[in-house]
Chain A
Amino acid sequence: MSEEKKVIVFALGSEQYGVEVEAVKTIERMQPMTRVPKCPEFIKGVINLRGVVIPVIDLRSRFGLPETEYTDNTRIIIVSAGDYEVGLIVDSANDVIDLDTDQIDNPPEVVGGIKAKYLRGIARIGDNGLLVLLNLEQVLNKAELLQLSAFHEEE
């Protein structure tokens, strides 16, 4: 059965990614951040979002992509998944689209350097565009975070 799904579209490098609109709380401009010491590299710090302290993750760094300078287009997408409320730094966020669930296919092994387990699916949009849907639960997977921080400490 096909369903309409609203998806926020954002860019990382040359790829377009999407997260379900239900998971997104707000989209913020880049703002000063407080560094949190002894954290995995991809956690850039915490921000004050209207009185709530929210950790911010650089998605590029999370996926092991090369980091770039932040620009005027850089956005922080505040998402909530499970118990977590986290900000994701992306190159830009510019669109909301309707997606038919029929359009979504299983993701291939690797897309744009991102492993399949972080992906929920891949959808064809427009004439030639591809939209990669993120699996937020996996992106924010805590067990992996713990492993990473253990690894970090060994360093």
Chain B
Amino acid sequence: MELSQYLSMFIDESRDHLQAMNDNLLSLESNPQDIGIVHNIFRSAHTLKGMSATMGFEDLAKLTHEMENVLDLVRNNKLEMDSFIFDCIFKSLDALETMVEDIIQGGTGKADVTDIVASLKSIVTGEYKTSGAAAGTAPAAAQAPSGIEVDEYQFSVLKQSIEAGHTVFYIEVAVRDDCVLKAARAYMVFDVLEQNGEVVKSTPSVQDIEQEKFDRTFSVYYISRLDKAALEKAIMNVSEIETAQIVQVDHDSLAEMARSSREQLGAEAQQETAAAAAAPAAPASAASSASSAEQKKPAASAQSAPVANRTIRVDIERLDALMNLFSELLIDRVRLEQLASEVRRSDLTETVEHMSRVSSDLQNIVLKLRMEPVDSVFNRFPRMVRDVAKTLGKKVDLVISGADTELDRTVIGEIGDPLVHLLRNSVDHGIEAIADRLAAGKSETGTVQLRAFHSGNHVFIEVEDDGAGINRPKVLDRAVKNGILTQEQAGRMTDFEIDQLLFASGFSTADKISDISGRGVGLDVVKTKIESLGGTVQVQSVPGKGSKFSVQLPLTLSIISAMLVKLGSEKYALPLSSIVETAAVKQANIRTIQGNRMLEFRGAVIPVVSLSRVFDVPDFDESAEAETEIVVIRKGDKLAAVTVDEFIGQQEIVLKSLGNYLTNLFAISGATILGDGQVALIVDTNALIK
């Protein structure tokens, strides 16, 4: 089978499952008694195991299998979760992630998992409690008892079926010696069976059978309404099947199975494969892992599995292509609107208006397609903070809010690393050690808040801790020592400026270099990265109370509403989001105060910026006019009046990049294409306000 075409699907799904397991495990840690969560983790592990086995990633499958064994004991109340088990499973998840990453990078997904497997096994055998944490090598035989547990669930299914009047069979099918496509034949048998009833359990597992990992025979527990003869006939109808032994299972034999399997629990267990050929009674049921049928059952029996949204995965490049095509369409729409208004034919106008409405709806959808909730970045942080805090011996609560805030996916893809830095920094440097916290009269557990919210055309992400705050004298001292500042400069800085020194390159206040942060390459990297995304980052701090890092990011919407203005023969677009209002004012009202041109506007005096002068526009100068049009713009709480020649109107414009060649342009954030095919530049109004 050609598997590469399934690889991307495998990668996506494994990531989802790993994430789900991580999330669930975290919630389980805070709520260890909730077996429902264990079920969820188990299901994810199980699916992952099946997928990786199918794809031939043996180590992945092996590790998940061992995890499954542990989880299985837990969900059947045979084992209590404790911190060793949690750590062990977290470690396994890390290893799994590493392997999946390796596969993404084109590797084979192979990794040495013997240590983790050994510790998992020691959990299953219960040895870890006696032999200490890192049990070197557990006896290989300790692998299978889980099979019994799995079967206990199936026993109840079987039992209920019998009680409900269904017939339960144990069927052993042997394919012919000379059969070429054993897996295919087996599949056909399963197909026949599933048409007439339900396979509860198969040995070997369905995955193994699909991979031809069985000798000649396989056996199933099967619930059906058919009678034995009809069943036998149906199975034998599949060609190349040698025999089909069918034994009906009743109450007594079921009880027998249950008892002998319990005896099996303490005793040494059977290897999976050995059990395949075993007799109908106990041993067969004692072996093997869950089958796919087993996986279906819990879902069917309405466990607390969250109902997933119905989604499909789309290559991001296709979305980009869609976006580009749509922007072309938008340009034509504007052009059509212009033409229609010139032609003045009512039926044309109506059609164009309808088209406009449809395309605005389409625009909303296309834009939303590119938006992703920040949750997809945030969801890995609880785990990370937990690990970091644990390493440092601190107690930290991470409180996330606004995880449903949406951001363009290009930004989402880039923002993860900077946030990791900020969070690590907060846990490492922000939150004090437990003793220090208690001494300062704070609670033992520190809190790190991670917030995301929309404001205007920006998304803010804040990381706030209730730690010690920034030690300003130490920061200054360090900055001077590292040659970032002179002593003289240091004396003149405001508290706010001192705080921002944290982002200077080659700066670290940690006395000891730790694994977590403090190599002096943290925060300046964060700053560079965020600025490259068109955002800003700053920090505010109150000594003794904590620090707050605020990251401001553009939504980077590809389509924005803008006001088009004219300056002589040139046209410019001003983003509507930064415009407060437009007005016409008399030149006489613009006064020069201390060399700056100012305007009294709604009770405040605001600076006047001449766009034509800023941009050296050759054929327009508003000073010749008696009355001039102004656009009042806003940056934070600062206002300014920008003088222009003429307003053209409000329009939806498509943001176009100016390419890689033109960068660092003053007060220009991009370009757009107007209805007449001309390029108009988009003014970065923030640059006009100092």
Judging by beta carbons under 8 Å apart, are B678 and A84 in contact? Answer: no
Q: Mark A31-54, 1 if CB is under 8 A from B, else 0.
A: 011111111000101111001111
Pick the contact of B673 from A35, A51, A84, A145 — CB < 8 Å? Answer: A51
Q: Give chain B residues whose Cβ lies under 8 Å from the Cβ of A35.
A: 570
- The listed residue with most B CB atoms (<10 A of its CB), out of A37, A55, A146, is A37
Which residues on A sit within 8 Å (CB–CB) of B667?
37-38
- The reply to whether the CB of A149 lies closer than 8 angstroms to some CB of chain B is yes
B contact residues around A32 at 8 Å (CB) = 678
CA distance A20 to B616 in the complex (A): 37
The B610-664 residues at the A interface (CB cut-off 8 A) are: 614-617, 656-662, 664
Interface: B461 (CB within 8 A): no
CA of A136 to CA of B75, assembled, Å: 66
Closest A residue, CB atoms, query B331: A51
A38 and B616 contact, CB distance less than 8 A: yes
CB contact under 8 A between A36 and B661, given known A51-B328, A51-B673: no
Cα(A146)–Cα(B659), bound, Å: 15
Complex contacts, B671 vs chain A, CB 8 Å: 34, 46, 53
Closest to A140 in B: B661
Contact between B668 and A36, CB atoms less than 8 A apart: yes
Contacting residues, chain B, for A54 (C-beta < 8 A): 659
**Residues of B658-686 contacting chain A, CB below 8 A:** 658-662, 664-668, 671, 673, 677-681
* B327 CB-CB contact with A under 8 Å: yes
Asked whether, in the complex, the Cβ of B680 is within 8 Å of the Cβ of A34, the reply is yes
Taken together as a complex, chains A and B put the C-alpha atoms of A85 and B327 apart, in Å, by 20
Instruction: Give the size of the chain B interface in residues (CB under 8 angstroms).
Output: 28
8 Å CB interface, A108-155 against B: 140, 142, 145-146, 149
Pick the residue among B664, B679, B681 that contacts A146 (CB under 8 A): B664
Contact A85 B659 (CB under 8 A): yes
| Partner of A51 from B327, B665, B680 at Cβ < 8 Å | B327
Give A35's nearest chain B residue, CB to CB.
B570
Number of cross-chain contacts by CB at 8 Å: 76
Given A34-B679, A53-B656, also A48-B665 (CB < 8 A)? no
Q: How far is the CB of A63 from chain B (nearest CB, A)?
A: 17
The chain A residue sitting closest to B656, CB to CB, is: A53
Chain A residues near B681: list those with CB within 8 A: 34, 36-37, 46
Task: Check A9 for interface membership: any CB of B closer than 8 A.
Answer: no
Cα(A111)–Cα(B331), bound, Å: 44
Interface presence of A86 (CB below 8 A) = yes
Does chain A have a CB within 8 A of B324? yes
A83 contacts B by Cβ under 8 Å: yes
Closest Cβ of chain B to A107, distance in Å, is 24
Name the CB-closest residue of A to B328: A51
B658 partner residues in chain A, CB cutoff 8 A: 36, 46, 53, 55
**What's the minimum C-beta distance from B670 to chain A, rounded to whole angstroms?**
8
* Interchain CB contact (< 8 A) of A38 among B328, B665, B673, B677: B665
Q: How far is the CB of A88 from chain B (nearest CB, A)?
A: 12
A37: which of B324, B616, B659, B678 is its contact (CB, 8 Å)? B616
In the complex, residue of chain A having the shortest beta-carbon distance to the beta carbon of B677 = A48
Query: Which residue of chain A has its CB nearest to the CB of B679?
Result: A34
CB-based contact A39/B570 at 8 Å: no
Name B611's closest neighbour in chain A (CB-CB). A37
Assuming A54-B659, A83-B660, is B678 touching A39 (CB within 8 A)?
Answer: no
Considering the complex of A and B, which 7 residue pairs feature the smallest CB-CB distances, nearest first? A37-B615, A34-B679, A83-B660, A84-B661, A38-B666, A53-B656, A53-B671
Contacts A35-B570, A53-B658, A84-B661 known; 18 new A-B pairs at CB < 8 A: A34-B671, A34-B678, A36-B668, A37-B614, A37-B667, A37-B668, A37-B681, A43-B662, A46-B658, A46-B662, A48-B679, A51-B328, A55-B659, A55-B661, A84-B659, A142-B661, A145-B661, A146-B664
